[in-house]
Amino acid sequence: MAAYCGIDWAEGHHDIALVSDEGKLIARAAAHRRRAGHAESLDGLAEFTAMLDAAGDSPEAPIPVAIETPRGLLVAVLRASGRPIYPINPLAVARYRERTSVSGKKSDHVDAMALANILRTDAHLHRMLPGDSALARLITVLARAYQDGVWRRTKLVQELTARLREYYPGFLAAFAVGVGRRMSTTQLASGDARAVLAIAPSPAEGLKVYRARVEAARRLGGRQRRAGTLAASIVAALRVPQLRQDPVVEQAMRTEALALLGVLDAICASVDHLAAELIDAFAQHPDYEIVTSFPGLADISGAIVLAEIGDDRGRFHDDRALQAFAGSAPVTRASGKSRTVTRRRTKNNRLASVGYSWAFGAAARPSPPREHYPRRRERGDGHAAALRHLFNRMLGQLHHCLQTGQAYDPIKAFPHAAAAHHEPLSEAAA
């Protein structure tokens, strides 16, 4: 008799349900977790293994498991055992639950039953947890930690910028000198900007700071070129008269800015450390040469792409499945005479985020992808839609290259653009 297992994951305990081919409940349990450190309970795992064995589990025919999360210690243990694991989106579980109950009742056991029944009836519609290599999983952990660090850094820079604008706009103007525009996130997060803010965190101190001290701070922050020339312009900008807060309020804002600066320094250091570790790990992966052969993909961006798609070649049966996963493929809604095509909102947000940067970088340099972008704009696409279309196309090309083991070839990837380049040459020769 075949059996299917559903696990409703939670912090306090995991509700487990086993159902048969007919949908009848075979067994149920709650695998508790230890309170100290929230580690998985070995006793609960032993009870779970005994449940599976009693239901006919064997190495030749392991019972598949559906769970609402692809991460965690329990998933790691199940993955190591070679058992088929199906991570199911919680939203999908909620929709399945509505099929069997119109009253809206909900419990952890009901969710575990719903997960088990999903495998019983619709396992073919869901993807198994990919069998990525250990190195690919390592890259995934580092890449996601790096992305989280960058997002935290951006949020903190925006908060610090807003605070400086309230009492110290001269500092923002000082680092905007020579670039002709407002200070960007990257500028305020740079080491030399943070070093100067540490020695002159208020307008009063900005009026007293000297060029030699600013130059030394900028060199300490990593600035090597034009440190002296730019130091003079910074000192001049800090001494420009500006509106001031009440001295007591200004001192309080100075204290807050230094506190935010301390956190920003720590985040920037952690981001730099994660970037170095990520680059080192990605360089060891067999797919490194293929991924980085694409225009717009460097070590970090390429590592993030690989981290999200993995190295299990059977995870996506074709390029369309990968494009839908990334959110680059549009969604068509047709009913009667109505037909609309919109962008996909349910997607892997991490892959979609790096995909935008990938397409933007590829379209910024003279290459066939750059020529593809204005063609999409001429057809009526907006900026984001044109970049998304370029990302969609290059993602399909990446899928093909990874499946066949070949590097990116611009002539094969964009044959029409290559033909357009050769036509003027042939006409000139004639």
Question: What are the residue ranges spanned by the domains of the chain?
Answer: 3-129, 139-280, 289-429
Average pLDDT over all residues of the chain: 87
pLDDT > 90? residue 187: no
**What tens digit of pLDDT does each residue of 312-328 get?**
999 998 999 999 999 99
pLDDT > 80? residue 289: yes
Please report which confidence band the pLDDT of residue 217 belongs to, taking 50, 70 and 90 as the band edges.
confident
pTM for the full predicted model: 0.86
Q: How far apart are CA 232 and CA 237, in angstroms?
A: 9
pLDDT > 80? residue 430: no
pLDDT for position 69:
87
Find how far residue 386's CA is from the centre of its chain: 21
pLDDT for position 67:
93
Please report which confidence band the pLDDT of residue 418 belongs to, taking 50, 70 and 90 as the band edges.
low
Residues 122-144 have a mean pLDDT of 93
**63: alpha, beta or left? (left if phi > 0; alpha if psi -120 to 50):** beta
- % of residues, the chain, pLDDT over 90: 54
Confirm if 356 and 373 have CB atoms less than 8 A apart. Answer: no
Nearest Cα to Cα of residue 262 among 156, 154, 148: 156
Please report which confidence band the pLDDT of residue 197 belongs to, taking 50, 70 and 90 as the band edges.
very high
Residues 83-103 have a mean pLDDT of 85
**What tens digit of pLDDT does each residue of 154-163 get?**
999 999 999 9
H-helix or E-strand containing 306? helix 299-309
The amino acid present at 325, given as its one-letter code, is F
3-129: CATH superfamily: ATPase, nucleotide binding domain (3.30.420.40)
- % of residues, the chain, pLDDT over 70: 90
H-helix or E-strand containing 340? strand 338-342
pLDDT for position 425:
38
Confirm if 109 and 17 have CB atoms less than 8 A apart. Answer: yes
pLDDT > 50? residue 30: yes
SS3 of 334, please? strand
Please report which confidence band the pLDDT of residue 353 belongs to, taking 50, 70 and 90 as the band edges.
very high
pLDDT for position 401:
96
Residues 142-148 have a mean pLDDT of 97
pLDDT > 50? residue 288: yes
H-helix or E-strand containing 413? helix 410-413
Query: Which residues share a beta bridge with 27?
Result: 18
**What tens digit of pLDDT does each residue of 31-86 get?**
655 444 333 667 777 888 888 888 888 888 899 999 988 888 888 888 888 889 99
- Residue 428 tokens read as 């000139």
**What tens digit of pLDDT does each residue of 357-396 get?**
999 999 988 888 888 999 999 999 999 999 999 999 999 9
